[in-house]
């Protein structure tokens, strides 16, 4: 057997010498390496073409900082560099003491607040990023790949789409070409460039996993498997033609880091927002005054629809455009200005992008027939949240079994929000956070019981069966919806 194998190996070697070696003898080692990975994408030219237009964004805020705190921060930073880079960085220079007998005084200092990413969309310095990157910042600094740093002005930010526009003073700046996010295809290669964990100009690659993924009223997000981590927020999602097709905005994670799923705001949505921000510093949206839900297969069959489509009207606002136009609870909205409503989430996007004052036509399904109803779009008001007052309400400091810390509403807040009662969420964690609840939400009802105050609410929560799901009626902005939360044992 050994002899047969030896002879066969000799024959194969002779064949290779005759046919293969002459064929590649003229190739350089780099060309041979390229040939070995033929068919796989090469991102090098793409990165060179687009990388210069991607920026690092750092934000600061004014805070009272003592020298003792600064020294502690220096020690932590040096320990970080020792662990990951093998050498400490020089300590930060401390200001000279004001007097020998005077203690170190706290002073207003510009302290780091956060780090994110962004990209230049015009040669004169307009930079796009996420709203959450610049939210609450006193100063915004933009750093280019050539290490030039600019102090930026926030033109405007829109929380609903998580899009912000900032401006730096410059000319002939590198910029990205905006692509058509409607033309993306599931499975196509894309790259992300940004500053994950503060590491500038990091490039990651992947494919488009899904389009129009519903995660919010105004965000039909692009889902990818591109590695995105804290610090990538606001950076571009770029296709193989070098066009930016999205703004990296969110990740799905149970650990706080990348777990294989990331989301980007489509550029067609982002550009509509940025155009309004550039023109007026804010985003104006239309509204019709309805609360809607999905049309399930069972509902469609019972109403005589051929398939599950449209938006089911659950509630009509008194005196709103929908009521004035003749829309009723139980109607199914099938079209807006002739455009089909496939899913309930399509309606607020279409209405929201319509200029207030526009005369529009809503097509509804009612009692087995379609009818067209004319109405006039009005302006969507900013989200109303309970405002902080000097007199603080009593707050339970320990989260209950739903993961909520709540406080009472003041009489002024109840009057402003035009409600009869309820409580405000101070913080949400655990089950409540996973259900989408957040600080500022107003809780109106727990299962079938109206909520009067924080004491009553916590008493009710304490009696909940941890094996059963709890239903909360939540007010956010001008709309209310039911949210299911499962208690956890404490």
Q: Which residues are annotated as a binding site for substrate?
A: 132, 162, 231-233
Q: What is the phi/psi pair of residue 359, to 5°?
A: -85, 120
Query: Do 285 and 273 form a contact (C-beta atoms < 8 A)?
Result: no
Residues in the chain: 490
Query: Active site residue: 158, 162, 331, 408, which one?
Result: 162
User: What is the Cα Rg of the chain in Å?
Assistant: 29
Cα 93-96-98 angle, rounded to 5 deg: 150
C-alpha–C-alpha distance, residues 63 and 324, integer Å: 50
Helix (H) or strand (E) holding 280: helix 267-280
Measured from the Cβ of residue 419, the count of other Cβ atoms closer than 10 Å reads 14
Note if 162 is an active site residue. yes
Of 104, 132, 427, 453, which is the active-site residue?
A: 132
Residue numbers in the known binding site are 132, 162, 231-233
Q: Tell me which of 117, 195, 209, 233 is the catalytic residue.
A: 233
Q: Can you list the positions of beta strands (E) in 6-125?
A: 54-65, 107-120
Annotation marks residue 9 as catalytic: no
**Rounded to a whole number, what is the distance in angstroms from the first to the last CA of the chain?**
70
Helix (H, G, I), strand (E, B) or coil at 372: strand
Short-list 103, 234, 85, CA closest to 162: 234
Contact 187, 208 (CB under 8 A): yes
Residue with tokens 């609360």: 291
249 catalytic per annotation: no
Task: List, by residue number, the catalytic residues.
Answer: 132, 162, 233
């Amino acid at each position: 057997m050994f002899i047969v194998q030896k002879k066969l190996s000799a024959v194969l070697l002779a064949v290779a010498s005759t046919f293969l070696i002459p064929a590649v003898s003229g190739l350089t080692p780099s060309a041979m390496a390229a040939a070995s990975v033929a068919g796989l994408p090469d991102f090098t030219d793409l990165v060179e073409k687009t990388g210069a237009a991607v920026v690092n964004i750092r934000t600061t805020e004014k805070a009272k900082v003592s020298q003792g705190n600064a020294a502690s921060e220096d020690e932590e930073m040096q320990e970080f560099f020792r662990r990951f880079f093998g050498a400490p960085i020089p300590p930060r220079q401390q200001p000279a003491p004001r007097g020998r007998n005077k203690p170190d005084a706290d002073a207003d200092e510009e302290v780091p607040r956060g780090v994110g990413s962004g990209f230049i969309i015009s040669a004169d310095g307009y930079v796009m990023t996420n709203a959450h990157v610049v939210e609450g910042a006193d100063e915004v600094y933009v750093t280019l790949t050539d290490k030039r740093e600019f102090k930026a002005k926030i033109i405007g930010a829109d929380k609903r789409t998580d899009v912000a526009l900032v401006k730096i003073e410059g000319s002939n700046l590198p910029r990205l070409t905006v692509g058509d996010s409607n033309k993306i295809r599931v499975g196509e290669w894309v790259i992300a460039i940004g500053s994950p964990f503060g590491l500038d100009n990091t490039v990651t690659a992947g494919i488009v996993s899904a389009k129009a993924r519903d995660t919010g009223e105004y965000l039909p997000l692009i889902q990818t498997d591109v590695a995105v981590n804290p610090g990538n927020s606001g950076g571009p999602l770029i296709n193989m033609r070098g066009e930016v097709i999205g703004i990296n905005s969110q990740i799905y994670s149970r650990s706080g880091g990348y777990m294989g799923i990331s989301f980007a705001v489509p550029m067609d949505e982002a550009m509509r927002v940025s155009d309004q921000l550039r023109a007026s510093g804010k985003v104006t949206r239309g509204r019709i005054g309805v609360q809607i839900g999905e049309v399930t297969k069972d509902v469609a069959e019972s109403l005589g629809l051929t398939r599950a489509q449209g938006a089911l009207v659950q509630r009509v606002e008194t005196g709103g455009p929908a009521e004035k136009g003749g829309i009723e609870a139980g109607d199914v909205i099938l079209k807006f200005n002739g455009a089909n409503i496939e899913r309930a989430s399509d309606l607020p996007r279409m209405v929201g992008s319509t200029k207030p004052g526009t005369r529009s036509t809503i097509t509804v399904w009612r009692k087995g027939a379609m009818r067209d109803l004319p109405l006039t779009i009005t302006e969507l008001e900013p989200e109303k949240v309970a405002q902080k007052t000097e007199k603080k309400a009593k707050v339970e400091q320990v989260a209950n079994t739903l993961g909520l810390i709540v406080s009472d509403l003041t009489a002024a807040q109840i009057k402003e929000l035009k409600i009869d009662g309820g409580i405000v969420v101070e913080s949400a964690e655990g089950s409540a956070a996973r259900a989408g609840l957040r600080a500022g939400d107003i809780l109106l009802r727990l299962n079938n019981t109206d909520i009067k105050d924080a004491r009553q609410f916590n008493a009710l929560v304490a009696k909940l069966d941890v094996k059963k799901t709890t239903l909360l009626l939540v007010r956010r902005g001008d709309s209310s919806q039911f949210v299911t939360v499962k208690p956890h044992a404490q």
